Amino acid sequence: MTEPVIITNPARCRDCYRCVRHCDVKAIRVQDGQAQVVPELCIVCGTCIRTCPQKAKDVQSSTPDVQKAIREGRKVIASIAPAAPAYFDFHSFSEMETALKKLGFTAAEETALGAEMVGLAHREYIEQTPVKSPVITSSCPVIVNLIEKYYPDLIPHLAPVVSPMIAHGRRLRQTYGPDAFVVFIGPCIAKKMEIADPSVSGAISAVMTFRGLAQWLEAERIVLSAETGQDLSKTHIDARLFPVEGGLVGTAGLSTDMLGNDFIVSTGLDTCCNILSDIRTGQLNAKLVELMACPGGCVNGPAMADLQGGIYASRQKILAYHRNRPAYGIPHRDSWPDLSRTYSDKHQTVPEFSEDQIQEVLRRVNKYTKDDELNCGACGYSSCREKAIATLRGMAELTMCIPYMRSRAESLRQVVMDVSPNSIIILDDHLSIQDLSPSAELLFGCSLADFKGKHISRLIPLYDDFISVRDTGQPVLGRFRKLTDRLTVEQNIVQVEGQKLLVAIMRDITERELEKQQFRQLRAETLEKTREVVRKQMRVAHEIAHLLGETTAESKMIVTHLAKLLEEEESK
């Protein structure tokens, strides 16, 4: 499997499916709730990186590879994309060159030299070669990926010309030697995939984004500063407009008339796909079609997204840089490197599924009829049927259907509410009743229809526990409350995390409390009777003791008298 250029941070990816919704080619597989880019399907447009609200998508960094090459003492050469003035806001290329040399680069040049050669090569291809019209420019790697993977029948329309990055890379190897470590630095992340294509590999050693370079400069505390003196750039001025709409057509010296029929310029994937579809059906008559995946051109590349200001602010910076730079000639045509390339059909065949298989998936998410298919797009797919096919392909999960999951959650909630023997009350943060379980209606002798939206005091006069839970967030658990003379409950009240709701679960313990009260009363009566019996027994014992004491005294007197008489009788 191809190593992905775009990576996902699993800890940040949280079941939002936003990347799926915005991916024009649906190259994202959702598995176990995690959205992962499928390299074989991805055209590396960077839309998922732009749109992810949790910043869970990022690109593989090449900065460590470049730093390693510098530490090894290699000849490291930078090729700086024409959009750089918009990102770094410099007025002279020598500012950038000086900063890069402080990082350890041997030299730095503008990719605009390669853009100049590519623009003229497109013109030559149109004018000198019998070609299949219209010719599609090949400078945008995203468009090349799109055609190779999704419109392979249009490959014959692609100009067999390398991109400015590859052209400049090959030129730099002519200048600095084949062992040079050439680094392209630009706003496009698709370049990271482009350099691995067998047709153009070997020209560029590594690709860095403007953002990656900015972070490296910041880490080394290097600031681009204005420098006086002559700009040492030797790049022709026209190619510096390459990153804006119509840049290639203008560089090639072709007509930039927006109302003309011979040359068409378009940016943004939606529009580009529409144009490709028109070419496929033979409805487009033009000589050259310049397609750029990013709306507004390379000045709006995915690595430009963190800039303040929009597309046109960046465009103005490019135009200002263009006006203030001297125009130098480019090398003679005979000294140019080889600018040719080839393409290959990289289309991934989508498995076909039977209608029964599709219907089975739809039924599993409670979609039995056409009316059940809402086609809401919340899952990221334009229709329920498309999502069902994606599920069969292993690209989507059943649980991605938001209406189904909501229905399921509500169904489970209703089951709990209906079958729970305990009384359940749901309130909002104003303590207004939102829902009552049937057992709660029975307990309080009321109906939800009469009490929904009413304050809890209408149902429970003593509601201080509800106020406490709402204000403090601390639950009330297992607290006994005598709500009325005839009703005692065990009360549990909790706050629903993340929502302004309270849930009260009450268990009727009136009979149990009545039994306890009766038992306490019986125990008290029994104790009182026991005490009375003990008191009576004590009194009887005392009386008996008194009687026994008198009898004993009398007996003692008689015995004493009898003994005395016997003594007198013996003495006679």
CATH number of the domain enclosing 178: 3.40.950.10
- Which candidate, 572, 440, 450, 557, places its Cα nearest to that of 506? 440
Q: Which of 278, 304, 335 is the last residue of a domain?
A: 335
Does the residue 567 lie in any domain? no
**What local confidence, expressed as pLDDT, does residue 235 receive?**
43
Say yes or no: 37 and 177 in one domain. Answer: no
Q: What is the DSSP string of 80-113?
A: E-TTHHHHH--SSHHHHHHHHHHHT-SEEEETHH
Does the residue 554 lie in any domain? no
Count other Cβ atoms within 10 Å, centred on residue 21. 18
Say yes or no: 223 and 359 in one domain. Answer: no
Does the residue 80 lie in any domain? yes
| Entry pTM | 0.72
Does the residue 292 lie in any domain? yes
Say yes or no: 305 and 382 in one domain. Answer: no
Helix/strand/coil percentages in the chain, nearest 5? 45, 15, 40
Q: Which of 335, 358, 390 is the last residue of a domain?
A: 335
Cα separation, 104 vs 116, in Å, equals 28
Residue 308 has pLDDT above 70, yes or no: no
**What local confidence, expressed as pLDDT, does residue 536 receive?**
80
Say yes or no: 460 and 381 in one domain. Answer: no
Q: What confidence category does residue 259 fall into, taking pLDDT thresholds of 50, 70 and 90?
A: very low
Count other Cβ atoms within 10 Å, centred on residue 213. 25
Q: Which of 463, 484, 508 is the last residue of a domain?
A: 508
**What local confidence, expressed as pLDDT, does residue 248 receive?**
64
Does the residue 208 lie in any domain? yes
Percentage of the chain beyond pLDDT 90 is: 46
Contact indicator for 477, 465 with CB cutoff of 8 Å: no
Say yes or no: 269 and 239 in one domain. Answer: yes
Say yes or no: 169 and 302 in one domain. Answer: yes
Q: What is the residue range of 175's domain? A: 61-335
Strand, helix or coil for residue 149: helix
Residue 412 has pLDDT above 80, yes or no: no
Q: What confidence category does residue 327 fall into, taking pLDDT thresholds of 50, 70 and 90?
A: low
Count Cβ atoms within 10 A of the Cβ of residue 223 and give its class: 0-12 exposed, 13-18 middle, 19 or more buried: exposed
Per the prediction, the chain carries an average pLDDT of: 85
- Domain with residue 3: its CATH number is 3.30.70.20
Say yes or no: 453 and 314 in one domain. Answer: no
**Tokens describing residue 160:** 């067999």
Does the residue 409 lie in any domain? no
**Residue 191: partners with Cβ closer than 8 Å, 6 or more residues away:** 141, 163, 165, 184, 204, 207
Cα separation, 39 vs 53, in Å, equals 22
Say yes or no: 69 and 47 in one domain. Answer: no
Contact indicator for 508, 487 with CB cutoff of 8 Å: yes
More confidently predicted of 260 and 338: 338
Mind listing the pLDDT tens digit for each residue in 88-114? Answer: 988 888 899 999 999 999 999 999 889
**What local confidence, expressed as pLDDT, does residue 258 receive?**
46
- Domain with residue 434: its CATH number is 3.30.450.20
Cα separation, 142 vs 298, in Å, equals 11
Say yes or no: 431 and 394 in one domain. Answer: no
Residue 232 has pLDDT above 60, yes or no: no
- Which candidate, 79, 85, 121, places its Cα nearest to that of 100? 79
Contact indicator for 143, 268 with CB cutoff of 8 Å: no
Does the residue 546 lie in any domain? no
**Residue 301: partners with Cβ closer than 8 Å, 6 or more residues away:** 46, 83, 186, 187, 188, 189, 243, 294
Say yes or no: 304 and 216 in one domain. Answer: yes
Residue 1 has pLDDT above 50, yes or no: no
Q: What confidence category does residue 230 fall into, taking pLDDT thresholds of 50, 70 and 90?
A: very low
Does the residue 415 lie in any domain? no
- The domain tally of the chain equals 4
Say yes or no: 77 and 14 in one domain. Answer: no
- Domain with residue 354: its CATH number is 1.10.15
Mind listing the pLDDT tens digit for each residue in 263-295? Answer: 888 899 999 999 999 999 999 888 889 899 998
Mind listing the pLDDT tens digit for each residue in 132-159? Answer: 789 999 999 999 999 999 999 999 999 9
Say yes or no: 253 and 325 in one domain. Answer: yes
